[in-house]
Chains A and B, each alone.
Chain A
Amino acid sequence: MKRIMIVDDEENIRLLYKEELEEEGFVVELAKNGHEALEKLPLFRPDLITLDIKMPGMDGIETLKRIRETERDLPVVMCSAYGEYKQDFTTWASDAYVVKCADLTELKNTIRRLLGL
C-alpha cells in the first residue's frame, strides 16, 4: 500500500484529499505546514508528497527545497489555487504541478502516474 503525505494549510482541503485518496486505497498522513511536514517525513516515510504552495510559516517552495536536500527521489506534487507558479523555476524541482480543483481526477491521475500504478 502506497503512502502519501498531504501538506496544506486549509483544514477542509486536507480532509477532502484524505478521504478521497484513502478511498483510492492509499495510506494518507496530513501536515498543516512545511515545518510539520519536515518533522513527520522521517517517521511516516511517504512514497509521494503533495505540497500546497501558499502556506503561512514555511511555504511550499521552501519546503520543497528542504525535502530535496535529503530526499532526492521522493515524488513531489505541487498544488496551488492557480497556475501562477508554473513558470517559477523554483517549482521545477518538483515532479508535477496541479492546479487545485473540486474535481480531483487530475490530481489522482498524476499521483498514479508518478507512483507507476
Chain B
Amino acid sequence: MAVHPAPYDLLKSIIDLSTSSMPIEAKLDGMLQGISRFLGSDRCLLVKPDEIGESGFLAHVSKERKPLWVNKESPLRGEQVLIEEQGLLCPTFACLPLYDDSILLGVLYIGFSEDRTFSSQEADLLLLIAKEMQWVIRSERAWGHAKRTKQLSTLWELSKALLTTVNFERIVEMTLTAITIGDGLGFNRAMIFLVNEKDRVLEGTMAVGPDDAEEAGRIWSSLSRKKETLLELITRLSPRSTSTLNSIVKGLRIPLEQEACILSRTVLEGRSFNIQLPQFEVGVESGSNRSSRTDSYREGWLQTRCEKGCHLGSEVGCYVGEHLGRDPRAYSFATVPLWGKGKVIGVILVDNLYNQNPITEEDIHFLSMFSNQAGLAIENALLYRNLEEVHQELKETQNLLIHREKMAAIGELCNSVAHEIKNPLVAIGGFARRLYREIPDGTPEKRYTQTIMIEVARLERILDDLFRYTRDESMAGQDCDLRDILEETLSMVSEKFDDRKVVVVKEFAQDLPKVHGDYQQLKQAFFNMIHNAYQAMDGEGRLSVRIRPLSKNGSSFVRVELEDTGKGIDPENLHNIFNPFYSTKESGLGLGLPIVHKIVLSHRGQIEVDNHPGEGVNFIITFPARPDATSVRGNGQARKQGRMAVSEKDQGEVPEKSLRSKTDEEDYDR
C-alpha cells in the first residue's frame, strides 16, 4: 500500500510549483505527478483545448463548464464518446474543465483502473488544484503576451535608433550595443562579421563586450543606475573601440568556402546556429525534458568539432574560438545571418561568456528579428558609404583634371608668348652687337649698347628656361655615362666663371653603371645646379662632385652629389626651391631648380637636399642604373636607329616629398 501524502502537503507542493520560476510545462507536469501520487490514480493528464473534439464527453464537459465524475454508480449519461476518447473510459474517472473567463484552457483528467468513489474532500481538493492550474496557465498566457509586446516595443525602439544615422560605423556600433545592453537583447558580447564579396571572406567588423568579468559587472551596474529610454541609451552609448575583443575581431578574416566553420555556414546556409554545451544545460532544462539532458547535443544542433575542440570549427574558427572564449571547449555561442536585400551580408555572433546564461531558441528568434532590421540598415549604410567614397574620388579627380587643364593652359600661353618674343629679341640683341662692334671704345654709347646686349642675353636665358619648363619635352633615350656629362658641364660653367677662385674636387667612381636618359636634358640639369653652386659661393669656395654606384633593395643606382660651400638655403625657402617661379635671386625667373627637378623625375630619379644654412648645400641625386646591356636585348635595335623617343609625362607637382633631412641619408648607405 503506497503511503499517501497528506492533502496539506499536496497543496503546499502545488503552490510551490505554481510560484516557482520553472517553465510552465514543468510546473504542470509536477502538479499532475503530485495528484497521481496523492490519489494513486493510474492516469492523470491535462487535455489541451486543441485536443478536444467538436463532440464527445470532453466537449460536453467543456461546454457545460462543470466537472464530470464517473464511476459505477454514476456512469456516463448518454454523453457521446468519440473514438479517440475510448482510451479515457476508465472504470472511474473525473474531468475538470479549466477556464479563463470564456476561454477554455484545457481539461484535467484523472482516471483509475478500478471502481472507486471520490470523497467530497478529494473532490474539493481536485477543484482547488484545477483552480491553481487555471491560474498558472492564465498567468503564463498573460506573461507571454506581455513579453511579446515588450519584445516588439524593444524591436521598435531599436529600429528607430538605427534610423537616426546613415553612418556605417555608428549603425554597426548601435546594432552591437542594442544586442548587448540589458534592456535590449541582453547578450554579454556581440560581434559582427561582414562578407567581402570580392575576396570571398568574412571580415571581422566590430565587437562589443567587456574584456573580463570585472569590467562586465562595472558596465552593468553603471547602466542600471541610469534612467533613460532605450532609444536615448543606444544613441548615446558608444562602445569602447579600444577593447581587446574589438581589436581581435577586427583582425579576423575567415574564408567563406569552408564547410566546417560555423560563421561561414551561417552565411552560406543563411540560417542561425545555436551552439550550446552540455554543462550549460544542467539545471536549466527540467521535468519532461529530463531525458534529453544526457545527450551531448540536441538533435539538429551543430556537432562539428575540429581537432582542438573548438565549436566554431575549422582552423580559423579555432583561432576565433580560442580568442573569444577562455576555453574553446567550454564555449557556447549563437550566430544569426545578417540579411540585406535578398542576400546575406554578414553574421552576428553572440555569447554569454560572463553570466553564462543559456541562449534559448526564443533569444535567437528575437535576435533574428532584430538582425533583419540591422542587416538592412547596415547594407544601406554600406551603400551610402560607397557612394560617398565614389563621390569623393570623383571630386578629387575633377579637381586634379581642372588643375592639370589650368597648368596646360598656362603652359600653352607661356609657350606661345615665349615664341612671339624670341624673334624680336634676337633682332634687338643681334643689331646691338653690330652697333657695339662699330662704336669706338671708351664712349658712353659703347656702354649703352653693351647694356642692351647683356639685358637681352638675360631675357633670352629666362625665355629658354620658361620654354623648357612649360614644354613636355620628349626624351631621347640613350645610355649615358654621368661622368662624361658632369665633366662637360663643369667645363662649361667654369668657363663662365673662369676668373674666380673656386676649387672643384672630383670624386668619380671607377666602375659606374650607365644611366638611361636624355644626354642634353641631363646636361641641362647638372648645368643649372653647378651654375647655382657657383653663384651661391660668389666666386670663392669648394665644389665637391661625387659620383658612385649604389645598391638598394636589390636594384642598382647611380648617386651624384654636388656639394658647395656657399650660403646654403634659407630654411624658410627650402620647401619652395623646386616650385616654379619662386626665386630668391635678384635675376632670373626661378626656374633653374624646378627644371632640374622635372628632368630628374622624368628620369625616374630622386633628388634630396642636405641643407646647412651659412655653410653650404649638398644636392644628392639618385638615378636608377641601366640594367646590363646583355640582359636587355630589345635595345640594340633602338640604338642602331640612333635615337629612341620616350615620352614621360611626370607632373612632379609635389617637390616637398623629395626633400629629406640629413638623417634620411643613412637609408641609402644600408
Contact = CB atoms under 8 A, between A and B. Distances in A.
A16 B471 contact: no
A82 B427 contact: no
A20 B474 CA distance: 34
B430 A102 contact: yes
Most buried by A among B426, B434, B467, B520: B426
Contact of A102 (B429, B471, B474, B645): B429
Contacts of A87: 473-474, 476, 643, 645
A13 B423 contact: yes
> In terms of DSSP, what is the predominant structure of the interface of chain B?
helix
B426 A101 contact: yes
Given A82-B464, A84-B471, A87-B645, A13 B419 contact: no
Contact of A101 (B428, B460, B520): B460
A81 B422 contact: yes
Contact of A103 (B423, B424, B433, B476): B433
Contacts of B424: 10, 12
Given A10-B423, A12-B427, A16-B431, A102 B453 contact: yes
B430 A104 contact: yes
B492 interface: no
B89 interface: no
B432 interface: yes
Interface string B197-222: 00000000000000000000000000
Interface in B462-518: 464, 467-468, 471, 473-474, 476
B476 A100 contact: no
B433 to A, nearest CB: 6
B423 A102 contact: no
A58 B467 CA distance: 24
A47 B433 CA distance: 26
Chain B interface category by residue count: 20 to 34
B456 A81 contact: no
Contact of A16 (B427, B457, B460, B476): B427
A106 interface: no
Interface string A74-105: 00000001111011010000000000111110
Given A10-B427, A87-B476, A101-B426, A82 B453 contact: no
B142 interface: no
Given A84-B471, A101-B460, A102-B456, A16 B430 contact: yes
Contact of B423 (A19, A20, A83, A100): A100
Given A20-B434, A87-B645, A102-B430, A82 B457 contact: no
Contacts of B425: 102
A3 interface: no
B46 interface: no
Nearest to A12: B427
A98 to B, nearest CB: 11
A54 B420 CA distance: 11
Contact of A100 (B426, B433, B457, B471): B426
Interface string A97-117: 000111110000000000000
Contacts of A82: 418-419, 422, 464, 467-468, 471
Nearest to A81: B422
B468 to A, nearest CB: 8
Interface in A54-75: 54
Interface string B438-457: 00000000000000010011
A104 B425 CA distance: 13
B216 to A, nearest CB: 74
A102 B457 contact: yes
A73 B302 CA distance: 94
A83 B428 CA distance: 20
Given A13-B426, A82-B464, A87-B474, A102 B432 contact: yes
Nearest to A100: B426
Contacts of B453: 102
B430 A20 contact: yes
Given A87-B474, A87-B645, A81 B423 contact: yes
Contacts of A15: 427
A81 B464 CA distance: 9
A91 to B, nearest CB: 12
A103 B452 CA distance: 12
Interface in A1-23: 10, 12-13, 15-16, 19-20
The 6 closest A-B CB pairs, nearest first, are A102-B429, A12-B427, A81-B422, A16-B430, A10-B423, A82-B467
Interface of A: 10, 12-13, 15-16, 19-20, 54, 81-84, 86-87, 89, 100-104
29 contacts: A10-B424, A10-B427, A12-B423, A13-B423, A16-B426, A16-B427, A16-B430, A16-B431, A16-B434, A20-B430, A81-B426, A82-B418, A82-B422, A82-B467, A84-B473, A86-B520, A87-B645, A89-B643, A101-B426, A101-B429, A101-B460, A102-B425, A102-B432, A102-B433, A102-B456, A102-B460, A103-B429, A103-B457, A104-B430
Given A84-B471, A102-B429, A103-B429, 8 more contacts: A12-B423, A81-B422, A82-B422, A82-B468, A84-B473, A87-B473, A101-B426, A101-B429
